[in-house]
Structure 1
């Protein structure tokens, strides 16, 4: 019976009912030691009698063994492996340690996504037969890889008959953050419930003892049961009071009880606590070497400190294990680990960790054993544990090349797992520990990649140049890659001089990739108005680089495909950039390269923004930001806010949202978002009619010689200048933009140039109208840019009204209004309304919302993939969802779209 937890058990009952109905959930129960988390979890399992209940308990000793927790949780479902996709079964077969694991099972990349999706697939399959409840006790002690996978799938149970319940101790335990998951905090029992629990377990007590226990326990159920019930234990009662935490005082209670046991019994308890698997044979073999045996356990059993259960020893509470281990002198702990290692088989995965715990200084035998263990972990793709074990191996390695090599392996594993801060710290340690330049080169490359993830462009540039210097001294041909990346980063920073330094370095080396580095530097220079290279030459250089990468086909990594999409954007070929960015996203999802996804999604979102498909852009930005948060990569958060969401909000005139997005982007990356932030604020000013402010913001960058992303918005600056009577101020920028548009050969840019020429022409000049009409005709040839087309219709409509061609003006203005209304660009719609009223048309400006605007971002992504012919399972693979959740979003979308089946979706042209 649970005392005082009626509210909590009712909440669990509701969730269990929801899971029965196919509505998945996850819940984290937090509280101090002894507060009743495990009891509540046990009650949940009891209430879910018709469920498949899966259990695992985080164990401190298994914290260093990759996927140990996941294996314990999912192994009972191994019979369902044949029913899930083969590649998922391959991954899980290896993770679960099954002998039947196919040889072709490869270590998963970005384990929390690849393994997480496989685990989600397995749970969904099991839940299709019977609801599933996963109970994970002491989740704070899970190995990091299991924890990452569980957190991944716990966020993706929307339409599955699956519940996930995790208990987490607060205080005297590792932090276990669970962003995005529902939490329940267990507080102390109320006085009435505490009294009932005490009476129910200990019967009638003297009033003084009862009152003392209730006051001292402070509502903690375990404390209520463990406090000394008789006055003769006054010393312990006195020790219990004071400012220490309940957990600390409970440890003392258990420690004092252990101290009163015979020495052989304490030895057995120490051995059991030192090897948390509590393997009976192992513990007894070790105990025999220390003069203890099974009969010596009886006093601890009699005191309810330990029990023998299912072939293993189990402590009555995790704090008893802590007290048994930490209460022993250091020399006894070392002795226990040494003896445990001695009695283990040499291939036992626990042995290296006992050897390490018994070591008191550098020891090559220990280091080699840990390295072998890390290699085994690596084969499963458990990068978070892999790096920790390699790091520990390095700690036991004497100073020298071997230590640096092991630190490098740790850094590589940390980076592969997406743990940027740890990879960074390890690279810094490598820099202090060796003079080997080949090792320095690899470590510096890792550090540069982490700096890029953090959107620290200048630091990433410096590190790539440093890596190139190291390679120049050891392996010159390998210097091409870091030099190429250095130029790319110099471009992002708007610093042509640094790009030139990298290109000259590459040319001095005369390596195979020197021309590539030079072409990228030339492009950087051409997009910098203060340099001699023309923008036409820059566009040609980018086309050469694009063609070179295209020749490699599928061999190009998702990271480099994203770079190609950016180049195509800069050549003005937005349609090609969109195709490349979409392919990059698909490739990253299909290959498990989740680390490349935030940037790829942001790039795809940018292309959608420029094509006037704002709803799609927002969906991709949301996906990019969600994955960035899960991976701890600021780059997706920054780019989605600064390059997509803020400009869209600006064009919609949403001043408050722009301010929030700009502040968030600036806080995350103050130096590298300056241009894009100013652009967003300029677009807001322009949309709201603050033309002078918009012009000043844009010209501050266009006049700097390194305009960066401001180039695309030169037409905005020109229109603002015309409206403030400062057309001369933008003449140079517009000439530069015109050269870029002509070099691109893109019809949509030619249309914008014609529209802008019309604005610059005298208002009464017939040439203005001719320019506007040519622009409209060009838009008709390339109708993939609805916002720009609407802007042209607006200025043409304004000109036609002033030229007294009122009926033609109304047609153009209503066409523009329909687009602006659909996009939610209210300031632009209002501007059209004013023109229509001036033309004598006071009718309402309305536009049926686009079908895509009726859907949530997630629904839109699912519908698009379904319309392309993908099954729910394939959609789940693409979006990291279970098939059932993909179907859930799809069927929610059907009534919004007015369709009844998948075959109808393809006809909608979404």
Structure 2
């Protein structure tokens, strides 16, 4: 049986069930080009592909379509393990059409060879010549195509003859299309024949196939199956069958290794069962070791076999050894699963014991293997495994950390330790993997293990759950502050649970945004033997940045400078958060991008959400609005999938700001309404500030300065910087403009004075630029205004914040024009209009253009074609390609595979009417986003 369909509902291919193949457009094109040449020339083409990759489905589709087009199709298939008589497959092939059978029966050589008549069996060469002659005769009447599946399993006589026939078909008007598995021993010799390798499906095609066939799969489950299947269509269609309904819906955790269905097992195990016992043992050790470290594998098999026993597995291409790195890799991850599935539990435990010995000196690895080899509770192993979990968490491997803690709990003899480790697994999961839905189950298991235990870990997990899932700020605050107060003082912040308790309580207070929440936190901090730097920085520079001291900013800069190379995503996000209001995120581009990408692998979902929104906030100020939309939507999709409504509002906020600035007021207002509605009953003042900021921008963009003043005043009373309102640092310019334009100049002056007394002009160049421009707006002295505007625009790197910079140019030009200095105003107004136009900030462009016209200057007409429309993602890819980035670099920035980028560009070139990347820039200038 082939690796393709046995029926429309069990197809081991990318067939979507109605005969259409998903993701095989390029393969169909290659086969189509071959078929088109058959009537004129004939010839052969061999499709090579791994088991389950969809060769059979492609052959079946080609056979159907070719036959419908009037071509005679003769088919046969090799069958593994079937004892076939000589020429059995050739007989099946020629008998698959009545006319070919009757013609073959009339050829004495074939009649004798195929058993149609009794006679002396002819030699292979004679049979080959007769088959070629027969096919040439048949093709004079009708083009003929031979379709051979699984040629590696053809009987010997048929394989030898058909291999020879394949080389003699050119010029006959007949063609041969056959499929083979690379590496399998075969009597069919395809060396020298044209080959086409059928590779795995792309990420997009894999996802499309799963969505079509299993639409109810939860996104995180779909991603896991895609990772395990590695683009293999059979695996994509069979692996979901091995899951329970709760597992498919993500309401129950997936196993560390998804068991193979019987069909997958038979497909991937066929090469394994025929190997020598020593080779199979060696493969099991390599499969359970996991990393491909041959040094460790050699230690683990010492005394039983050696690495030379890999040779049989290498010859059939089950595994390969990289000559550069010296690491062993399985040809497909499901080969590894098949090796494990074919072993017994006792064999697996023995191998884990051997691996634990081999990993002596590496506690994390040793702990894991000891835990897998142990069946009885063992506190020593449980403690080692908990330490391993801490190491995994620090490098951002959330799933591994949670799995280690759960296993450590299972091995804990004491019920109290079992409960503590389960609770710790709950908060590590909430902080890293995004598995908020698992928190109640783990906490319930912890309570059942020790009903009366007072656990700080349980309080942290419960508070994270209440805060992030329900937004229940007040209950989370009471629960956590009470649990911390019960701990014996002084607190040891080197204890990971204490650190998480303090960090979680801090964020509860931040989102509450109310001064009365902070005394409990500050009291707890005062009882610490030392203050962790992340907690100290978050308290000083994020919770209440207007009251941070110069030494706090210096510590923040030192912490940021030390981040490159850091693998801990939680630390990256916390340091990034500490620098968010102080314009420090540009220095964190690489670690934030790296952390955001972790959400695609499932290793650190929650930090990925936070990193996406931190970078989006930075992109708002730096004018990277196309990327902002993409990254923010990426983060919002993770929030929706993993149920983090509280965290979603940061992404919603930046999208509301861009929508407001670009004149999409309905969208911006809808975002603000949703934020206000959610925050109201929960008393989440930080989210209400988000909404107020968005409304301020809407009003300023519409010219409703009274409404803008009113909304800005709800963030912090104009003229002051309220405690614990970091957001006030982001609306200084908006607040001052609204105050000045509504005739409240004294309020504007007071607001500037408060910002300067807080030392904000020394916090960042952007804030210095904003304060200088605000002072220029607020002064009635035209000469002073000109000087202040000039100083603002001269701040080093001022162009890094294009929207604010363009606004200042606009204000400067407006002031000059009203002072009858139109000639001096025009350059500033023109520069502002150009930047606004590039950003797509239409209301602001209109305002600048209006001022230019009042200066008597011509306004550049907007030229946009209507015939071509690009999606934001298409435009982003095209712009990056036009800037010279490679497909790999684009993929890293946009969280896409290089293959997906290549596909988009392949579609974009004809759409834009260009043939090279060099022509993209000019084409993009004439295209609108769709």
TM-score (norm 2): 0.55
Structure 1 residue 688: Cα displacement:
0.5
Contact in 1 for aligned 2:833/2:845 (Cα 8 Å): yes
- The equivalent position to 1:719 in structure 2, one of 717, 732, 737, is 737
- The equivalent position to 1:841 in structure 2, one of 833, 853, 857, is 857
The 5 Å alignment of 1:337-416 reads 400-401=415-416, 404=419, 407-408=422-423, 411=426, 415=430
Equivalent residue for 1:501? 520
Which segments of 5 or more consecutive residues in structure 1 lack a partner in the other structure? 25-40, 54-75, 77-122, 180-274, 281-343, 350-364, 529-534
SS of alignment partner, residue 888 of structure 1 = helix
Equivalent residue for 2:73? none
1:632–1:741 Cα change, 3 Å: same
* Deviation per residue, 1:609-667 (Å, 9 max, x gap): 0122222211211222233334443355322112x100111122222101332344456
The 5 Å alignment of 1:220-235 reads none
Aligned partners of 1:481, 1:410: CA distance in 2, in Å? 12
- The equivalent position to 1:649 in structure 2, one of 652, 659, 677, is 659
Contact in 2 for aligned 1:444/1:464 (Cα 8 Å): yes
SS of alignment partner, residue 626 of structure 2 = helix
Structure 1 residue 497: Cα displacement:
4.7
Equivalent residue for 2:789? 772
The answer to whether 1:698 aligns with 2:700 is: no
Structure 1 residue 602: Cα displacement:
0.8
- The equivalent position to 2:558 in structure 1, one of 531, 547, 571, is 547
1:176–1:769 Cα change, 3 Å: same
* Deviation per residue, 1:237-261 (Å, 9 max, x gap): xxxxxxxxxxxxxxxxxxxxxxxxx
Structure 1 residue 496: Cα displacement:
4.3
1:870–1:150 Cα change, 3 Å: same
Equivalent residue for 2:672? 662
| Structure showing the higher helix proportion among its residues | 1
Structure 1 residue 608: Cα displacement:
0.9
Aligned partners of 2:407, 2:657: CA distance in 1, in Å? 44
1:898–1:705 Cα change, 3 Å: farther
The answer to whether 1:813 aligns with 2:829 is: yes
Equivalent residue for 1:756? 774
SS of alignment partner, residue 569 of structure 1 = coil
Structure 1 residue 557: Cα displacement:
1.8
- The equivalent position to 1:804 in structure 2, one of 779, 797, 820, is 820
Equivalent residue for 2:839? 823
The answer to whether 1:562 aligns with 2:579 is: no
Structure 1 residue 715: Cα displacement:
1.6
1:161–1:896 Cα change, 3 Å: farther
Equivalent residue for 2:703? 689
1:676–1:880 Cα change, 3 Å: closer
* Deviation per residue, 1:841-890 (Å, 9 max, x gap): 354444899xxx97733663697599686663x76577554442132234
- The equivalent position to 1:486 in structure 2, one of 477, 486, 505, is 505
Equivalent residue for 2:756? 738
Aligned partners of 2:859, 2:211: CA distance in 1, in Å? 62
CA RMSD of aligned residues (A): 5.9
Contact in 2 for aligned 1:539/1:571 (Cα 8 Å): no
TM-score (norm 1): 0.56
The 5 Å alignment of 1:42-61 reads 47-48=60-61
Equivalent residue for 2:460? 445
Structure 1 residue 836: Cα displacement:
2.3
Structure 1 residue 694: Cα displacement:
1.0
Larger RCO (CA within 8 A; separation ≥ 6): 1
The answer to whether 1:149 aligns with 2:224 is: yes
Contact in 1 for aligned 2:460/2:480 (Cα 8 Å): yes
1:768–1:579 Cα change, 3 Å: farther
The answer to whether 1:424 aligns with 2:440 is: yes
Mean Cα deviation higher: 596-605 or 725-734:
725-734
Mean Cα deviation higher: 141-150 or 441-450:
141-150
Structure 1 residue 783: Cα displacement:
1.5
Equivalent residue for 2:153? none
Mean Cα deviation higher: 538-547 or 559-568:
538-547
Structure 1 residue 449: Cα displacement:
3.9
Structure 1 residue 698: Cα displacement:
0.9
* Deviation per residue, 1:370-401 (Å, 9 max, x gap): x99xx99x99x99599879969998x999943
Contact in 2 for aligned 1:717/1:730 (Cα 8 Å): yes
Aligned partners of 1:176, 1:161: CA distance in 2, in Å? 18
Mean Cα deviation higher: 140-149 or 824-833:
140-149
Equivalent residue for 1:680? 694
* Deviation per residue, 1:414-461 (Å, 9 max, x gap): 646532122134225535753676x71233333344445436555555
Structure 1 residue 584: Cα displacement:
4.4
Aligned partners of 2:452, 2:859: CA distance in 1, in Å? 77
Aligned partners of 2:468, 2:690: CA distance in 1, in Å? 18
Number of residue pairs aligned between Structure 1 and Structure 2: 628
1:745–1:905 Cα change, 3 Å: farther
Structure 1 residue 539: Cα displacement:
5.0
Structure 1 residue 603: Cα displacement:
0.4
Contact in 2 for aligned 1:572/1:746 (Cα 8 Å): yes
The 5 Å alignment of 1:20-419 reads 20-21=25-26, 47-48=60-61, 125-127=199-201, 149-150=224-225, 176=248, 400-401=415-416, 404=419, 407-408=422-423, 411=426, 415=430, 417-419=433-435
Structure 1 residue 463: Cα displacement:
5.1
Structure 1 residue 782: Cα displacement:
2.6
The 5 Å alignment of 1:497-536 reads 497-509=516-528, 511-513=529-531, 517=535, 520-523=538-541, 526-527=544-545, 535=547
Contact in 2 for aligned 1:581/1:601 (Cα 8 Å): yes
Mean Cα deviation higher: 467-476 or 705-714:
467-476
Equivalent residue for 2:182? none
- The equivalent position to 1:19 in structure 2, one of 9, 15, 24, is 24
Structure 1 residue 685: Cα displacement:
1.0
1:798–1:447 Cα change, 3 Å: same
The answer to whether 1:889 aligns with 2:908 is: no
Structure 1 residue 798: Cα displacement:
1.3
Aligned partners of 1:897, 1:142: CA distance in 2, in Å? 36
Contact in 2 for aligned 1:494/1:706 (Cα 8 Å): yes
Aligned partners of 2:209, 2:249: CA distance in 1, in Å? 19
- The equivalent position to 2:606 in structure 1, one of 585, 595, 603, is 595
Contact in 2 for aligned 1:564/1:580 (Cα 8 Å): no
1:506–1:757 Cα change, 3 Å: closer
* Deviation per residue, 1:217-254 (Å, 9 max, x gap): xxxxxxxxxxxxxxxxxxxxxxxxxxxxxxxxxxxxxx
Structure 1 residue 705: Cα displacement:
4.4
Contact in 1 for aligned 2:511/2:687 (Cα 8 Å): no
Structure 1 residue 348: Cα displacement:
8.6
* Deviation per residue, 1:718-771 (Å, 9 max, x gap): 111111112223333222223456553533332222222222122x63322332
